[in-house]
Amino acid sequence: MSRRLFIPHHVTGFWVPVYTDNPITTGSLGVGVLVGGAVASYVPGGVWYNDTPLEGGLGVRISSQFPLGYGYAASAVVSIAKAVGELGLSREAFAKAHVEEVSRRTGLGDVLAIYTGGCLVVRVRPGAPGVGEAYSLPCPAVYVVTLDLARVDTGVVLQTRHEALVKAGGEAYRAFMKNPSFQTFLHLAAEFSRRVGFLDERLEALERHRGVLGLFVKKGVAAVFVEREWALDVARIAERLGRVHLEPLRELRVAWI
């Protein structure tokens, strides 16, 4: 039987890019939630994600309910799966995954957030695990409805919206650190989504439905947080806008299974 690794996904609500001349210290400040989870199976035959071949080399097949390229940090999941296959479940493996993400311009803080684990992950120092720092806050007993809206290139977002990300992300991060809570996160993530141009009127209308506590958009993913008794109703309504995933928020960590 092949080894299997569980890797949660990460959807950041707001972030501040921090660039240095070293990918180890490059990263981001911000806050996001861990959701869902991919399973990486180590078998011969290159690197695959949901039956799509990505590259040769180390044999790992990754299965996830979330698509690649939308904003679920799937590229970080792939980088982590490859690095752990080479170096084991170690901090060095996550550092290697972070460097690959930064070098390929596919992410800045997702590897650190996934390495940290938990639910609501706060990134307080940019960089790879061992250099960057993050901690987790508990999430309330609510559900999250995520919608696959569109594929969006991370490198393009980082380049074309750099000034907006720095300004809006910096203000959101500083406000959150004054009152770090889940409710503060929801409020600031929604405002960040509006200011950088991710959130439109179609999606904002979801916030008016009964049971919805808040929502935000990260690239091509919308995340709607809903009280348990209304989660299915909101998921059905959201299906008009994109493919829907529904699950309770919970503590998640990378682990062998």
pLDDT at 181: 98
Report residue 50: phi and psi, to 5°: 50, 50
* Confidence class for position 160, pLDDT limits 50, 70, 90: confident
pTM attached to this predicted model: 0.97
Q: Average pLDDT for residues 36-62, to the nearest whole number?
A: 95
What is the Cα–Cα distance from 230 to 237, expressed in whole angstroms? 11
Mean pLDDT of the chain: 96
Give the model confidence (pLDDT) of 112-122 as tens digits: 999 999 999 99
Distances (CA, A) of 94 to 116, 129, 150: 10, 6, 28
pLDDT at 58: 85
* Domain ranges within the chain, ordered by starting residue: 4-137, 143-248
* Confidence class for position 93, pLDDT limits 50, 70, 90: very high
Residue 120's DSSP bridge partners are: 33, 137
At position 109, the amino acid (one-letter code) is: G
Q: Average pLDDT for residues 215-234, to the nearest whole number?
A: 97
Between 147 and 201, residue with greater pLDDT: 147
Give the model confidence (pLDDT) of 98-107 as tens digits: 999 999 999 9
User: With 80 as the cut, is the pLDDT of residue 1 above it?
Assistant: no
CATH code at 4-137: 3.30.230
pLDDT at 42: 96
Residue 215's DSSP bridge partners are: 224
CATH code at 143-248: 3.30.70.890
User: With 90 as the cut, is the pLDDT of residue 67 above it?
Assistant: yes
* Confidence class for position 57, pLDDT limits 50, 70, 90: confident
User: With 80 as the cut, is the pLDDT of residue 10 above it?
Assistant: yes
User: With 80 as the cut, is the pLDDT of residue 143 above it?
Assistant: yes
**Using an 8 Å Cβ cutoff, are 96 and 114 in contact?**
no
* For the chain, percent of residues with pLDDT exceeding 70: 99
- Sign of the Cα torsion 247, 77, 60, 95 reads negative
pLDDT at 86: 96
pLDDT at 154: 87
**Using an 8 Å Cβ cutoff, are 30 and 11 in contact?**
no
Domains 4-137 and 143-248 share a fold: no
Q: What is the DSSP letter of 73?
A: -
* Confidence class for position 79, pLDDT limits 50, 70, 90: very high
Between 3 and 212, residue with greater pLDDT: 212
* Confidence class for position 96, pLDDT limits 50, 70, 90: very high
